[in-house]
Structure 1
Amino acid sequence: MKHERTIRACSIWRALDVVGDVPVLLIMEQAFLGTHSFDEFVARTGLARSVVNGRLKKLVEEDCLAKVAKKGARGFHYFLTPKGRDQFPNALMMLRWQHKWEAASRDFQVRLHHASCGHATEPVPACEHCRTEIDPREVAWREGPGLVQVTPAYERRRFCGEVGARRPGGRPLVDTMIELFGDRWATLVVRAMFTRINRFDDIQRDTLMATNILTGRLERLVRQGILRTAPYSAHADRVEYKLTEKGRDLYPVILALLQWGDRWFSDERGPPVLLTHSPCGHDLHMIAACSHCGDELTLANSRFTIEEAG
C-alpha cells in the first residue's frame, strides 16, 4: 500500500537531487564551454566564491566533475567526467527551447555549430531508432520495474537574484531554463503535467510539496506562459492546469533529465518508467540531432559562439 508521505521516485526526481539547483546548472554550463579553474567559474557565473566552492565540491562528490591538481602550479582544475558529459543533451535541449521561445528578449544570440558537417545548427530532439522529431503526444509510457515510492527529503537551497542579471565575465546561454530547472519544485510540477496530473490536490499528493510553495510555483508557471488554467466544474475557483504549446515544448528537457537519471541512478531492477515511441514502436531513446545533417550532436563535435543582437 502506498504510504501517504511518499512520492514516485522516478529518474527525473533523482536527477534533480544533483542538478535541480541554479548554481550547479550555471557551473555545468561553464564546464561545457571549457571553463576549468575555480577563479574562472567565479568570474563567469557571478556566484559568490563560497557558493562556487560548495557546488564544485558537490559535483566532484557526485562524479560529474573530476578535481585534478594543476601541473607545476598551486590549485586545481575541474574536468567533466563521463557522467558530467552525459548531461550535454540536457544542455542542448535547454538551448533549443531558449532559442525558440525567448530569443527576441535577449541582447545577444548563441550560435551552435556542428563541426562534423560544418554548418550552424539547432538541436532537434529525435528518436535514436527512426530519427524523427519526438512529439510528446506520440510517446506512450508505463511503469517500469524500478518504480518505487520514497519519502522525500527536500534539501533547502537558497539562491538570490535572476540568472540573466549575472553576466560579469560570461553570459548564461540558457538563463530562463536555468531558473526553471534549477528550481526542483517547478520542475516536479512540469513533470506532473506530462503524466496527466493536472489538479492542485493531485499535484500536491504527487510531490508532497507544501501548499504555499505549490501555489507560488503554479502562479509563476502561468505567468511565464508555460501553464494555463481551465475550469473543470461549474465553480469558478475549481481549475486544473494545462500545458501551453510553450510548456509542451519543455518535453525534450524533461526527457533528457529522465534519460540521464535512468543511466546513472537506476538500480539492478531497471528504470522506473518505460517509454515507447509510437511511430516506430521501439523503446524511446532521444538524441540531440543536427538540424542540418541529422547526425548526433555531442560535446566533442559541437562549439558555441556568442553574437551581439542587432
Structure 2
Amino acid sequence: MKHDRTIRACSIWRALDVVGDVPVLLLMEQAFLGVHSFDEFVRRTGLARSVVNGRLKKLVEEDCLVKVPKRGGRGFHYMLTQKGRDQFPNGLMMLRWQHKWEADSRDFQVRLHHATCGQATEPVPVCACCRAEIDPRDVDWREGPGLAQIVPHYERRRFNGEVGARRPGGRPLVDTMIELFGDRWATLVVRAMFTRINRFDDIQRDTLMATNILTGRLERLVRQGILKTIPYSSHADRVEYRLTAKGRDLYPVLLALLQWGDKWFSDERGPPVLLTHRQCGHDLRMVAACSHCGDELALSNSRFTIDEAG
C-alpha cells in the first residue's frame, strides 16, 4: 500500500535529480556546443563563477563530465562522458519544441545540420522499431519491475532571472525549455498530465508539492499555453487541467528524460515504467531522426549554426 508521504520514483524523477536545474541545463547545452573550459562556460552562460564551479562539480560527481588536465598541467578541461553524451537526444527534443512553438519570438534562428546526409534538418521523435513519428496518444504505459515509492526530498535550487534575457557570449538555444525543465516542480506537473492525473488534489498527492507551489506552477503553465482548464462541475473553481497541443508536444522531451533515466539509474529489477507503441505493438524506444534522411542524429554527426535576425 502506498504511504501517504511517498511518490512514484520513475526514471523522469531520477533524471531530474541531475538535470532539473537551470544552470546545469545551460552548462550541458554549452558542452554539446563544444565548450570545455571553465572561463568559457562562465562567459557563454552569464552565470556567476561560483554557480558554474558548483554545477560543474555536480556534473563531474554525476559522471556527466570528466575533468581532464590541460596540456602543460595548468587547469582542466571538462569533457562529456558517455552518460553526458546520452543526454543529447533530450537537447534535440528541446530544440525541436522551441523551433515549432516559439521560433517567431526570437531574434535569431538555430539551424541544425546533419553531417551524414549534409542537409539542414529538424529532429523528429520516431519509434526505433517502426520509424513512425511518436504521438503520446499512441503510447500505452504500465508499471515496470523497478517501480518504487520514495519519500521525496526537494532540494532548494535558486536561480534569479529569465534565461532568455541573458545575452553573454552565446544566448541559450532553448531558453524556454531550459526554464521549464530546469524547474523540477513544473516538469512533474507535466508528467502527471501524461499519466492522466488532471485535478489539483490528485496532482498534489502524486507530487507531494506544497499547495502554494503547485498553484503557482499550474498558473504559469496555463499562462504559457501548455495547460488549459476545463470545468468538471457547476462550481466555477472546480477545474481539471489538460494539455494543449503545445503541451502535448512536450512528450518527446519527457520521453528522452525517461530513457536517459532508465539507462543510467534503473537497478537490477529493471525500469520503473514500461511503454508500448500501439502502432507496431513493440516496446517503445524513441530515436531522434533526421527529418531529411531519417537516420539517427547523434552528437558526433550534428552541428549547429546561429543566424541572427536582420
Provide the TM-score with structure 2 as the length reference: 0.99
* Structure 2 SS opposite 1:247: helix
Give 1:167 shift.
Answer: 1.7
Q: Given residue 34 of structure 1, which amino acid in structure 2 is its aligned partner?
A: G
* Structure 2 SS opposite 1:125: strand
Q: Given residue 32 of structure 1, which amino acid in structure 2 is its aligned partner?
A: F
Does 1:214 find its partner at 2:214? yes
Find the counterpart in structure 2 of residue 137 from structure 1. Answer: 137
Q: Distance in 2 between matches of 1:182 and 1:115?
A: 30
Find the counterpart in structure 2 of residue 254 from structure 1. Answer: 254
* Structure 2 SS opposite 1:126: strand
Find the counterpart in structure 2 of residue 83 from structure 1. Answer: 83
Does 1:174 find its partner at 2:174? yes
* Structure 2 SS opposite 1:15: helix
Give a deviation string over 1:17-56, Cα, whole Å, max 9, x none.
Answer: 0000000000000000000000000000000000000000
Single out whichever of 164-173 and 154-163 deviates more from structure 2. 164-173
Give a deviation string over 1:130-158, Cα, whole Å, max 9, x none.
Answer: 11100000001000000000000110000
Q: Distance in 2 between matches of 1:138 and 1:164?
A: 33
Does 1:280 find its partner at 2:280? yes
Q: Given residue 26 of structure 1, which amino acid in structure 2 is its aligned partner?
A: L
Does 1:159 find its partner at 2:169? no
Find the counterpart in structure 1 of residue 12 from structure 2. Answer: 12
Find the counterpart in structure 2 of residue 101 from structure 1. Answer: 101
Instruction: Tell me how many residue pairs correspond in the alignment.
Output: 310
Give 1:73 shift.
Answer: 4.2
Find the counterpart in structure 2 of residue 289 from structure 1. Answer: 289
Find the counterpart in structure 2 of residue 114 from structure 1. Answer: 114
Give a deviation string over 1:79-126, Cα, whole Å, max 9, x none.
Answer: 000000000000000000000000000000000000000000000000
Q: Distance in 2 between matches of 1:32 and 1:263?
A: 20
Q: Distance in 1 between matches of 2:78 and 2:228?
A: 42
Alignment of 1:175-194 (within 5 A): 175-194=175-194
Does 1:42 find its partner at 2:38? no
* Structure 2 SS opposite 1:269: coil
* Structure 1 SS opposite 2:164: helix
Gaps of 5+ in 2: none
Q: Given residue 140 of structure 2, which amino acid in structure 1 is its aligned partner?
A: A
Q: Distance in 1 between matches of 2:187 and 2:215?
A: 14
Give 1:165 shift.
Answer: 1.3
Give 1:168 shift.
Answer: 1.1
Find the counterpart in structure 2 of residue 27 from structure 1. Answer: 27
Give 1:71 shift.
Answer: 1.2
Q: Distance in 2 between matches of 1:126 and 1:48?
A: 38
Q: Distance in 2 between matches of 1:213 and 1:136?
A: 27
* Structure 1 SS opposite 2:110: strand
* Structure 2 SS opposite 1:274: strand
* Structure 2 SS opposite 1:39: helix
* Structure 2 SS opposite 1:230: strand
Q: Given residue 156 of structure 1, which amino acid in structure 2 is its aligned partner?
A: R
Give 1:309 shift.
Answer: 1.9
Q: Given residue 25 of structure 2, which amino acid in structure 1 is its aligned partner?
A: L
RMSD of the alignment, in Å?
A: 0.5
* Structure 2 SS opposite 1:300: helix
Q: Distance in 2 between matches of 1:75 and 1:165?
A: 31
Q: Given residue 52 of structure 1, which amino acid in structure 2 is its aligned partner?
A: V
Give a deviation string over 1:256-283, Cα, whole Å, max 9, x none.
Answer: 0000000000000000000000001100
Q: Distance in 2 between matches of 1:155 and 1:247?
A: 26
Q: Given residue 154 of structure 1, which amino acid in structure 2 is its aligned partner?
A: Y
Alignment of 1:208-247 (within 5 A): 208-247=208-247
Q: Given residue 194 of structure 1, which amino acid in structure 2 is its aligned partner?
A: F
Q: Given residue 141 of structure 1, which amino acid in structure 2 is its aligned partner?
A: W
Q: Distance in 2 between matches of 1:73 and 1:96?
A: 40
* Structure 1 SS opposite 2:131: coil
Q: Distance in 2 between matches of 1:254 and 1:268?
A: 23
Find the counterpart in structure 1 of residue 60 from structure 2. Answer: 60
* Structure 1 SS opposite 2:300: coil
Matched-pair identity in %: 87
Provide the TM-score with structure 1 as the length reference: 0.99
* Structure 2 SS opposite 1:132: coil
Gaps of 5+ in 1: none
